[in-house]
């Protein structure tokens, strides 16, 4: 790839005149030189030296091939030598350019003190029959009609006189340029001027004099040496005259000319614009409860009691007149007025005994809702929160709100695990009563979340209630102790999740419609509220903490729901209201579903590309899973059994276990890693035969056994790994190196072809950290053709294996439902519907991706959220070109399942959105 660097270092806007040819001046000077004795010392030196050595030429800035051919022919005719190529060669003595250029060759020749002359020098020398003096043809810049500046002369003279070996003599440079090709260019420039260049990090003995950085970061200025931008090279070479030379550092390769205009776009500015969009997207409210907008303003009531005597209510309760006592309280519920909490506790205890009528239970719920509307705890002083906390607990045990909720849920599930024995068997009236209690508490928690949701709620003026009071909310105190608030997965949250799974099973069993309380829906809403509440409290302070909390919670749910029907779990996940929660739950559940059915997906972070390249092919495996296959239980993770022992030694005969199976060395390598490195295929087969073997186990760096086998040329081990079920993950990357990259970088073509024959051409689309595909690592045409042929064989084999008959439609429907909602939630969370707003920013991003690779656009970007957005935009563009959709197996495409059709519609919608991005340009 050509090297192009743009450095705007001059502020003057005056027009400069560049002498494209020195023809007239050269002719005049030539007559002076040949008509009189040579006076100039450079001409005298040149005349004697040119006869004693062979000049070596490079050419820059001449794009017309015919002109270049004439120059090369002239050089050779006079006994000179020509060196081609687009980079500077230190062995050259002369550089031919039509004018001052912003090329690497020109700057390097200047720094090295070489001759830089116009094409007329060669043409006139040919006419003369021998080499002429270079001086009259030296390239110059005219700033006015009477003066000229010779940019190369000062350094050429100093080198010729022996004062310097180069313009950068004595420099010891720490070069901190991130983009590899640009770093290589600047290294050549500095070395041409005789600088000593150190890579980052420098050796301990290095004494640095200059730090050259692009971009300049805190790290680059932390060294004990001055830090300069790379534009300092130009400033050093041309000094005060550089203000008259407004040019960029580029190269000579014409293929990049069409991109020159767009290279000038400041991608850091694009990053800032996209970051603003991402921050706005992350800060939007996930759950909106519009019903709260219909509440009466409790601080501007239509009527308000000034004083109420509740003493008669206490007397009624003592006499057992619970109905009359409740009626008295109902008539005295006003804003700012709360009946004594012990009276409500007594009425609640009466309701739980099973003797109350349905009318009493309904009236009690109405009283509680009226209290919530007229005295919402999220708007009131802390005393009101304490009041509700006192009422909402078991009237007998008095252990707090969570045990009260747990008892109500257990009673609805007909479970015996309650804080104290309740009337049984479960009475229909009490079932509805406890279900209504759960709904009431959910409404209360929704109000607390509503009060802290940005943009949706403003505290009334003059209330004296501080927003900071939310830290002591009922929701916080219910689900997290003071020591648990830094983690989402508290003890109470775990218990609620277990009860949710039980409720989902109960709701989908064969029960009468009149007995269905749809408890799972209430618990799902409760779970969504508490997750959103916790995330909003912590997101601004520590986003990584929130991401980890969500991931841990989703993995916990995937583990405890492994023995539940996939249809039930999928239906449960898709009914989650919080898109943030649904996203992580759907992802963890889908991976767990694939893992338990013999298909392992990669452990890279979730992205749109991962979903279309890894998750879509997994659907085909789910479709072909045998009906009634036993589901494995146990911990689940990205690689099913990561960080777990490879085998349970108690379940196997000791003699069948290879020695050192469970021993991990200092690098984190298991016996399977070591056997693959040494091509010990017998040991590999022995390990793979053990139940529970994790074929994708990683060492401390992230290398898998397949990586090691491909790196060390262990062909037999690669073959054994590919035959194993579940098959190893072929798109795992460490520093951008996949197993296929690893094989090609180490010259193992046989292994590379084996991988392609196994997985097809999808592997050829992988790119490493430098944006190189596997084919970019192969230079010989014959080898590229062999790889392409192997990929075609793999594609054909995959098509032949793809049967059109779906063996397990329920499992495929469950997986399709999860994946469809996963993609849909991902779009909502990442803002992929419009990609970027407003449109001008979207246009800038699309134009950048149309002209440059993802790696070049995001080079130096520090915000990984923005990089993810650009990666997703690139995937949308690829989908618009028809790529990736081939990842869906034929069996899935031909299936008419409802969820599968929904998934296909979402994929088509993604494709159309990508097309719209391009069409708007």
Whether residue 247 sits in one domain with residue 202: yes
The answer to whether position 67 is within a domain reads yes
Q: Which two tokens stand for residue 423?
A: 């009337």
Residues in the chain: 921
What digits encode the pLDDT tens for the residues 860-919? 788 888 888 888 888 888 888 777 766 777 777 778 788 888 988 888 888 888 887 776
The residue from 254, 283, 308 where one domain ends is: 254
Task: Map residue 96 onto helix, strand or coil.
Answer: strand
Task: Map residue 895 onto helix, strand or coil.
Answer: coil
**189 touches 173 (CB < 8 A):** no
What are the φ/ψ torsions at residue 432 (nearest 5 degrees)?
A: -65, -35
Whether residue 796 sits in one domain with residue 668: yes
**783 touches 743 (CB < 8 A):** no
What digits encode the pLDDT tens for the residues 644-655? 333 333 343 444
Whether residue 143 sits in one domain with residue 212: no
Question: Comparing C-alpha atoms, which of 726, 720, 645, 646 is closest to residue 679?
Answer: 720
Please determine, for residue 195, whether its predicted confidence score (pLDDT) is greater than 70.
Answer: yes
Q: What is the pLDDT of residue 194?
A: 92
pLDDT confidence bin for 712, thresholds 50/70/90: very high
Q: What is the pLDDT of residue 242?
A: 55
Determine the average pLDDT of the residues in 205-215: 82
Number of domains in the chain: 4
Determine the average pLDDT of the residues in 289-294: 50
- CA 219, chain centre distance (Å): 24
Whole-number Cα distances in Å, 214 to 220, 682, 821: 9, 51, 42
What pTM value is reported for the model?
0.57
Whether residue 215 sits in one domain with residue 79: no
Q: Which two tokens stand for residue 447?
A: 């109000």
What digits encode the pLDDT tens for the residues 741-761? 999 999 999 999 999 988 888
Q: Which of 42-46, 296-300, 351-355 has the highest mean pLDDT?
A: 351-355
Residue 659, domain CATH: 1.25.40.20
Neighbours of 535 (CB within 10 A): 20
List the domain range (segments joined by +) for residue 212: 172-254
The residue from 254, 269, 301 where one domain ends is: 254
Whether residue 743 sits in one domain with residue 797: yes
Q: What is the pLDDT of residue 843?
A: 64
Residue 68, domain CATH: 3.40.50.10190
Whether residue 240 sits in one domain with residue 108: no
What digits encode the pLDDT tens for the residues 381-419? 788 888 888 889 888 888 889 999 998 888 888 877 777
Whether residue 218 sits in one domain with residue 179: yes
**660 touches 671 (CB < 8 A):** yes
What digits encode the pLDDT tens for the residues 58-110? 998 888 888 888 999 999 999 899 988 888 888 899 999 988 877 889 999 99
Please determine, for residue 148, whether its predicted confidence score (pLDDT) is greater than 80.
Answer: no
The residue from 745, 769, 801 where one domain ends is: 801
Task: Map residue 329 onto helix, strand or coil.
Answer: helix
The answer to whether position 880 is within a domain reads yes
Please determine, for residue 251, whether its predicted confidence score (pLDDT) is greater than 50.
Answer: no
Rounded-to-integer distance, Cα 189 and Cα 210, Å: 14
Whether residue 724 sits in one domain with residue 651: yes
What digits encode the pLDDT tens for the residues 329-350? 887 766 667 888 888 888 888 8
Query: Residues of the chain with pLDDT > 70: what percent?
Result: 77
The answer to whether position 688 is within a domain reads yes
Q: Which of 41-45, 46-50, 858-862, 896-900 has the highest mean pLDDT?
A: 896-900
The answer to whether position 646 is within a domain reads yes
What digits encode the pLDDT tens for the residues 550-570? 999 999 999 998 888 888 899
**167 touches 191 (CB < 8 A):** no
Rounded-to-integer distance, Cα 387 and Cα 389, Å: 5
Q: What is the pLDDT of residue 493?
A: 93
What digits encode the pLDDT tens for the residues 777-808? 888 888 888 899 998 888 887 766 655 567 77
Please determine, for residue 501, whether its predicted confidence score (pLDDT) is greater than 60.
Answer: yes
Whether residue 118 sits in one domain with residue 211: no
The answer to whether position 282 is within a domain reads no
What digits encode the pLDDT tens for the residues 451-460? 877 654 444 4
Q: Tell me how far apart the 2 most distant CA atoms of the chain are, in Å.
A: 135
Average pLDDT of every residue of the chain: 76
Residue 224, domain CATH: 3.40.50
Task: Map residue 337 onto helix, strand or coil.
Answer: strand
Please determine, for residue 280, whether its predicted confidence score (pLDDT) is greater than 50.
Answer: yes
The answer to whether position 754 is within a domain reads yes
Q: What is the three-state SS of 211-235?
A: EEEECCCCCCCCCCCCEEECCHHHH
Whether residue 155 sits in one domain with residue 218: no
The answer to whether position 402 is within a domain reads no
Whole-number Cα distances in Å, 332 to 303, 308, 336, 371, 412: 11, 7, 11, 10, 32
The answer to whether position 654 is within a domain reads yes
Q: What is the pLDDT of residue 834?
A: 53
Whether residue 772 sits in one domain with residue 637: yes
If residue 58 lies in a helix (H) or strand (E), which one and from where to where? strand 56-59
Whether residue 781 sits in one domain with residue 746: yes
């Amino acid at each position: 790839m050509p090297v192009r660097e743009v450095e705007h270092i001059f502020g003057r806007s005056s027009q400069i005149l560049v002498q494209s040819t020195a023809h007239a001046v050269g002719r005049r000077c030539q007559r002076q030189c040949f008509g009189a004795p040579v006076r100039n010392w450079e001409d005298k030196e040149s005349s004697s030296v040119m006869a004693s050595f062979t000049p070596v030429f490079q050419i820059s800035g001449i794009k017309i091939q015919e002109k270049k051919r004439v120059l090369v022919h002239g050089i050779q005719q006079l006994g000179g030598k020509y060196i081609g190529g687009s980079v500077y060669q230190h062995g050259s003595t002369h550089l031919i350019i039509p004018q001052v250029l912003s090329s690497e060759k020109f700057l390097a020749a200047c720094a090295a003190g070489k001759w830089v002359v116009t094409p007329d020098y060669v043409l006139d020398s040919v006419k003369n029959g021998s080499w002429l003096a270079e001086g009259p043809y030296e390239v110059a810049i005219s700033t006015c009609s009477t003066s000229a500046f010779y940019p190369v002369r000062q350094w050429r003279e100093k080198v010729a006189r022996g004062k310097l070996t180069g313009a950068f003599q004595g420099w010891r440079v720490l070069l901190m340029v991130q983009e590899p090709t640009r770093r290589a260019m600047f290294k050549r420039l500095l070395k041409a001027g005789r600088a000593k260049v150190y890579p980052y990090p420098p050796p301990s003995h290095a004494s640095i004099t200059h730090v050259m950085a692009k971009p300049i970061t805190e790290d680059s200025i932390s060294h004990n040496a001055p830090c300069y931008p790379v534009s300092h090279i130009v400033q050093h070479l041309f000094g005060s005259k550089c203000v008259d030379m407004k040019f960029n550092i580029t190269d000579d390769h014409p293929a990049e000319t069409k991109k020159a205009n767009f290279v000038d776009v400041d991608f850091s500015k694009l990053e800032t614009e996209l970051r603003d969009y991402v921050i706005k997207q992350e800060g939007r409210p996930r759950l909106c409860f519009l019903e709260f907008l219909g509440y009466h303003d409790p601080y501007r009531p239509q009527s308000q009691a000034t004083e109420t005597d509740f003493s008669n209510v206490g007397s009624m309760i003592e006499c057992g007149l619970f109905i009359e006592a409740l009626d008295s309280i109902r008539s005295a519920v006003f804003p700012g007025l709360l009946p004594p909490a012990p009276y409500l506790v007594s009425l609640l205890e009466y309701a739980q005994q099973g003797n109350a009528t349905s009318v009493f239970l309904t009236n009690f719920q109405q009283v509680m809702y009226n209290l919530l509307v007229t005295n919402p705890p999220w708007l009131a002083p802390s005393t009101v929160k304490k009041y509700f906390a006192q009422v909402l607990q078991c009237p007998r045990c008095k252990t707090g709100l969570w045990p009260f909720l747990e008892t109500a849920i257990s009673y609805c599930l007909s479970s015996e695990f309650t804080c104290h024995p309740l009337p049984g068997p479960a009475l229909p009236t009490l079932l509805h009563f406890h279900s209504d209690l759960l709904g009431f508490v959910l409404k209360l928690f929704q109000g607390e979340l509503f009060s802290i949701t940005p943009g949706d709620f403003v505290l009334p003026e003059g209330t004296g209630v501080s927003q900071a009071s939310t830290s002591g909310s009922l929701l916080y105190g219910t689900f997290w102790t003071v020591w648990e608030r830094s983690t989402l997965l508290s003890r109470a949250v775990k218990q609620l999740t277990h009860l949710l799974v039980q409720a989902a099973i109960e709701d989908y069993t064969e029960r009468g419609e009149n007995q269905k309380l749809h408890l799972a829906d209430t618990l799902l809403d409760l779970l969504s509220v508490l997750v959103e509440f916790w995330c909003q409290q912590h997101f601004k302070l520590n986003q990584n903490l929130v991401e980890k909390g969500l991931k841990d919670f989703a993995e916990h749910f995937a583990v405890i729901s492994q023995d539940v029907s996939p249809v039930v779990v999928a239906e449960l996940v898709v009914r989650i209201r919080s898109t943030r929660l649904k996203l992580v739950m759907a992802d963890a559940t889908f991976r767990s579903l694939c893992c338990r059915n013999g298909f392992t997906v990669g452990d890279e972070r979730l992205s749109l590309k991962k979903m279309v390249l890894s998750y879509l092919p997994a659907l085909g495996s789910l479709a072909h899973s045998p009906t009634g296959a036993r589901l494995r239980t146990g911990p689940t993770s990205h690689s099913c059994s990561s960080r777990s022992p490879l085998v349970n030694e108690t379940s196997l005969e000791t003699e069948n276990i290879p020695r050192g199976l469970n021993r991990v060395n200092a690098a984190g390598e298991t016996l399977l890693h070591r056997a693959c490195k040494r091509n010990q295929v017998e040991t590999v087969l022995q390990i793979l035969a053990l139940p529970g073997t994790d074929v994708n186990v990683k060492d401390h760096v992230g290398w898998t056994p397949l990586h090691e086998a491909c790196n060390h040329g262990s062909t037999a081990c690669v073959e054994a790994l590919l035959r194993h079920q579940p098959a190893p993950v072929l798109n795992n990357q460490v520093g951008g190196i996949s197993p296929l990259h690893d094989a090609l970088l180490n010259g193992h073509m046989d292994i590379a072809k084996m991988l392609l024959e196994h997985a097809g051409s999808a592997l050829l689309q992988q790119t490493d950290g430098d944006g190189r595909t596997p084919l970019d690592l192969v230079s010989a045409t014959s080898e590229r053709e062999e790889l392409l042929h192997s990929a075609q064989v793999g594609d054909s084999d995959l098509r032949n294996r793809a049967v059109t008959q779906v063996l397990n439609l329920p499992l495929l429907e469950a997986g399709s439902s999860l994946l469809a909602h996963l993609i849909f939630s991902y779009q909502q969370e990442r803002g992929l519907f419009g990609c970027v707003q407003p449109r001008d920013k979207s246009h800038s991003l699309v134009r950048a991706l149309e002209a440059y690779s993802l790696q070049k656009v995001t080079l130096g970007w520090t915000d990984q959220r923005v990089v993810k957005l650009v990666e997703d935009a690139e995937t949308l563009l690829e989908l618009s070109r028809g790529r990736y959709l081939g990842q869906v197996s034929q069996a899935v495409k031909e299936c008419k399942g409802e969820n599968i059709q929904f998934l296909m519609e979402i994929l088509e919608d993604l494709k159309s959105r990508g097309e719209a991005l391009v069409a708007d340009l």
